[in-house]
A and B are shown apart, each in its own frame.
Chain A
Amino acid sequence: MALGDILVDVEGVAKHYGEGDTRVDALRQVDLQVHAGEVIALLGPSGSGKTTLLNIIGCILDPSAGRVALDGDPVYDGKWLRRDLRRLRLDKIGFVFQTHNLLPFLTAAENVSLVLDLAGWPPDKGRARARELLDYLEVGHRAPVKPALLSGGEAQRVAIARALANRPRIILADEPTAALDSKRAQLVMDLLRKLAVEQEACIITVTHDEKIFDRFDRLIHLRDGRLVDE
């Protein structure tokens, strides 16, 4: 596979909590590059640093050291280089959660169009884009329904639509298939993979789900805060 642009460039990133005797190193000198169109999995036991790495790439956790560049823009180099990290997330990163985390007071369509509303899209265009994505993910017929009435698979597809709504080039997924049966889990991963290729995005997934390992381009193992192999 021809590699596209480097979308995630992590170099020498470390994260520790506490100091002295209580110091815990969650990440130690991690280097990682992810290219456009790539779908990778972060694997490892609990406490290995998978979620810490995902949070740092998602700009929701301060690294203790290192350098991070997203979509070609340096964003961290000893300190955050962008003041408005939320805007950065809105523009460049889509999140898919273990549980769908849809806002319960919005319909499926509104959950998707909310992101576009926040990004400043005109409401009619936002609604059209939301509808288009939901149709694409085969949940268009559930657009006016609140999350409480969606099945687990439907809710996860709506969450994926939300993550993709503003056409981010980096999609971070934390155990996206944990709440799904194996058939639906594979469908979701196929879908993410297809979208990554179509949108020239990369997908970084934290997972323990061996059933979907064959859906990834790379499996990256972490242990005690270090990348051990690929």
Chain B
Amino acid sequence: MNLALKDIRHGLFRFVLTCLGLGLLMTVVLAMIGIYNGLVADALAVVKAPAADVWVVEAGTRGPFAEASSIPADTRDTVARMPGVAEAGAINYQNVEASHAGRTLRLYVIGFEPGRPGGPQRIVAGRGIGTSHFELVADRKTGLVTDDTVRLGRNRFTVVGLTEGAMNSGGDPAVYMTLADAMALQTELDPADQRVQAARGAGSVKSASVAAVIVRVKPAADIDLLTATLRQWKHLAALSQAEQETILLASVVDKARRQIGLFLGILLAVSAVVIALIIYTMTMEKLKQIATLKLIGAPDRTIVGLIVQQALILGASGWGIGLVLILLVKDVFPRRVVLEPFNVAVLAGIIVVVCLAASGLGVRAAMKVDPATALGS
């Protein structure tokens, strides 16, 4: 006879409500884990997208993500000719805001040279950029669809293709355009501003600089040697892909990551206390019944089983409800919520440990119960 299940069935409504409450708490924990993962994944997405081996940036900077970096656009030609370099592409990054269909879009503009490294990883709808000007490939999260047009700076761009998973560390979705368009967007002034500059006798501010040059090396090429060679040029610095990723995590998103990590830790601690309290209270409410069980001869394992099984059923139900809820709502979050099976499994493990520890408190109390208390009225 399974006393734990019988007791649960007896107070099913209350138990379900408790599980639901715990499930909501687990939803928040899983959401926080997902947001944490999403922050890291988003931060790395922009670095990983070009599949670069080496980043060539301005000397003395850790650009182009941690710091601003500006190097001459023709650096690409120089770098491309170096031994071991398979291909190289200049790239530019900037944030812009645009209006579209009555709403403001915050976009992360990536300027790249079509046919060279730095473009969208894959096109999920439409096509890649095929002309030199005024075409965009946009991330789906922008809400743009193919053939939409959007005004950026002085020009109107047409969305010719869509990609996925392209964004900056702040979660702003990316749009890809040609490097020429991106440079123009960065430097060209509005007509009115241009007239003012002309009236003052100043020329237009144009610069042939890019943020970085992305390098892919040939198989078996020595990346360390290449970066060392590049660093010998006084105006350039070179970072390997791994260094770039480390900079992003250790510098750009570090505070946000630690903030969420700390909050996640607090949330897990609160959840542990709540679970422990629920299980302990459930046991305390049954002390008279436990005394009766002891008096009629129930062995310890029957009483321990009653408490531990209920604790584990409660924990498993809360975990399951939390998982289902977060999977249902994760796409509603403005930022990416990335849940890995490993994280979900670790949380399950934590819940099992917390439930067992909390059961331990309950079991300790139950073991102390004097069977004689069952005899009182």
Contact = CB atoms under 8 A, between A and B. Distances in A.
B219 interface: no
A103 interface: yes
B375 A115 contact: no
Contacts of B293: 103
A86 B7 contact: no
Interface in A69-113: 86-91, 95, 97-99, 101, 103-106, 110, 113
Nearest to A93: B297
A175 B293 CA distance: 19
Given A55-B372, A60-B372, A105 B297 contact: no
Contact of A86 (B298, B370, B376): B298
A95 B296 contact: yes
A101 B292 contact: yes
19 contacts: A55-B375, A60-B370, A60-B371, A60-B372, A61-B372, A87-B297, A89-B295, A95-B295, A101-B288, A101-B292, A105-B7, A105-B9, A106-B1, A110-B1, A117-B1, A118-B297, A118-B299, A123-B1, A162-B296
A51 interface: yes
A97 B374 contact: yes
B309 interface: no
B103 interface: no
Contact of B292 (A103, A110, A119): A103
Interface in A108-156: 110, 113-115, 117-119, 123, 146
A90 B9 contact: no
B292 A115 contact: no
Contacts of A98: 375-377
A95 B374 CA distance: 10
Given A118-B296, A174-B375, 14 more contacts: A58-B295, A60-B371, A86-B299, A89-B296, A98-B376, A101-B374, A105-B6, A110-B6, A115-B296, A115-B297, A117-B1, A118-B298, A118-B302, A175-B377
Interface residues of A, number: 34
A89 B9 contact: no
Given A113-B1, A118-B299, A146 B374 contact: no
Interface of A: 51, 54-55, 58, 60-61, 86-91, 95, 97-99, 101, 103-106, 110, 113-115, 117-119, 123, 146, 162, 174-175, 178
Interface string B297-309: 1110010000000
A172 B181 CA distance: 95
A117 B3 CA distance: 11
Contact of A104 (B289, B296, B299, B370): B289
A147 B196 CA distance: 92
B10 interface: yes
B297 A89 contact: yes
A105 B10 CA distance: 5
A162 B296 CA distance: 9
A91 B302 CA distance: 17
Contacts of A51: 375
B11 interface: yes
Most buried by A among B6, B292, B299, B302: B292
B294 A86 contact: yes
Contacts of A95: 295-296, 374-375
A65 B126 CA distance: 94
A174 B9 CA distance: 31
